[in-house]
Each structure stands twice: as structure tokens, then as C-alpha cells.
Amino acid sequence: MKSRRPWVVGVSGASGTPYAAAVLRGLLAAGESVDLVVSRASRLTLLDETGISFRDAHWREDLAAWLARGADGKPDTFDVADALDDVRYWAAGDLAAGPSSGSYPAKGMLVVPASTAAVAGVALGLSKDLLQRVASVTLKERRPLVVAVRETPLNGQTLKHMVALDEAGAVVLPASPAFYAGATHIQDLVDFVAGRVLDAAGVPHRLYRRWEGELGAALQAD
């Protein structure tokens, strides 16, 4: 039997729950398994941004609704039914969860979106909840950690925490969409950021049009 080596996806309470959905869809579409941690605060942003009340006891149905929703409010074409079999869910307060130990065979962790509180907690090694604990474990095990921070403007404290994360080996990836890839919908901007997260993890995808050295090429493509 093939041994399961999941990516841990940590969703914290910054604005940007569509980024998390796009990364999760991208990982599952690439055939990756996922262990999911949804912070307590992120339930507020998810409720605000999608109308979904995320419940631990009903995570499968709530996640299905989340992944089926595009950032423009329209249904996404992603087929969630089978893909959810590759997801394992851990409650944010469960500090005995599998990924809280370095011996758990995770590939690495993607924190999407990352709040400044999560950035601070991971930079300082607080491990105050499962998301922060898994991020600290990922760093100590020298596995890839991608932190898609979403805040603007940034204060000096957060900037220092971001430098600390970079020095500890994480990829600090501001959720900062670019416009050169020919975006015409909100989902295109979301997919650009999600695609850059997957790039940092080395996971193949077709979420955005890559720059090929030709000015204006995205405008000419349909």
C-alpha cells in the first residue's frame, strides 16, 4: 500500500479564505493528500467571506461547500466528491493530533492565509494551537513551510517576525496578486496567489499563466 505523505494546510484568521480553497483544490487536483487545520479565528473570516459556518463535527460537508465555491461567488468546476477522501481533518485545539509530532510523515506545511498573529506565533515558537505547533514542527524538521501572510500595511513587529521566519527557512509569501497574467476575474487573482504558494511547495498546477518574456502577451490571449 502507498504510504500517505500529506501536506498540512493551516488556515488562519486573515482575510483570504478563497486563497485557502484554491490551494486545497490545487493540491487535491495534483493528487496530493492533505491534512487540514482551521484556526478558531478563521471561522469568522470564512463566515464573513462565504457565509459558511465551519463546524469540526461536520467538517466534511462544510469543506465541500467551501471548495465548491469560487471567489466570484459562482460555483467552481472542481469535483469535490472524491477529492475529500484525500483529506484528513484535525481540530485546531487538538494538540495530540498526528502532525503535532515531527515523526508524523508530513511533506511540509502551507499556512494560507496567514494572519499576523499566526506569523508572530510561529516566529516566536509559541505553539499556542495546533496550527502554530505544526508550523514549528515543520521548521524543526527542516521541511518546507510556506506562509502566505495577508495584512496591509505591515507594522515593524510583523516585518521583524517575517524576517525571523525567512531566517528559520520558511518561504514568506505575501498574498499579493499580480496583474501581468491577464486577470479578468477575482478568481484569476486568487489563483495567481494560490499558484505561487504551490510553486513554493513544488506542486505542479495550471492555476495562472506564467510569464514568458513577452510584454502584452496575456492581453492578446483570450
Ligand X SMILES: Cc1cc2nc3c(=O)[nH]c(=O)nc-3n(C[C@H](O)[C@H](O)[C@H](O)COP(=O)(O)O)c2cc1C
Q: Is 136 in the site for ligand X (CB under 6 A)?
A: no
Q: Are 45 and 175 in contact (CB under 8 A)?
A: no
Is the Cβ of residue 28 or residue 149 nearer to ligand X in the bound state?
A: 149
Give the three-state DSSP class for 198. helix
* Shortest Å, Cβ 50 to ligand X: 12
Q: Is 50 in the site for ligand X (CB under 6 A)?
A: no
d(CA 62, CA 72) in angstroms, rounded, equals: 18
Q: Dump strand ranges (E) for the chain.
A: 7-11, 34-38, 87-90, 108-114, 145-149, 171-172
Is the Cβ of residue 151 or residue 188 nearer to ligand X in the bound state?
A: 151
Q: Is 79 in the site for ligand X (CB under 6 A)?
A: no
x-marked contacts with ligand X along 158-197 as a string, rule CB under 6 A:
----------------------------------------
* Shortest Å, Cβ 51 to ligand X: 13
Cell of 98: 498526528
Q: Which of 9, 14, 23, 130 binds ligand X (CB under 6 A)?
A: 14
Q: Which of 41, 130, 190, 194 binds ligand X (CB under 6 A)?
A: 41
User: ∠33-42-72 over CA atoms, to 5°?
Assistant: 80
Selected range binding ligand X among 110-118, 176-184, 185-193, 196-204, rule: CB under 6 A: 110-118
Q: Is 117 in the site for ligand X (CB under 6 A)?
A: yes
Q: Which of 17, 39, 136, 138 binds ligand X (CB under 6 A)?
A: 39
The Cβ of residue 221 has, within 10 Å, a number of other Cβ atoms equal to 9
Which amino acid makes up residue 178?
A: A
Q: Is 17 in the site for ligand X (CB under 6 A)?
A: no
* Shortest Å, Cβ 148 to ligand X: 11
Per-position DSSP letters for 40-83, written without gaps between them: TTHHHHHHHHH-----GGGHHHHHHHHHTB-TTSSBPS--HHHH
Is the Cβ of residue 39 or residue 136 nearer to ligand X in the bound state?
A: 39
Q: Is 44 in the site for ligand X (CB under 6 A)?
A: yes
The residue among 118, 85, 66 whose CA lies nearest residue 6 is 85
Give the three-state DSSP class for 10. strand
Tell me which residues touch ligand X (CB under 6 A): 12-15, 39, 41-42, 44-45, 48, 115-118, 150-151
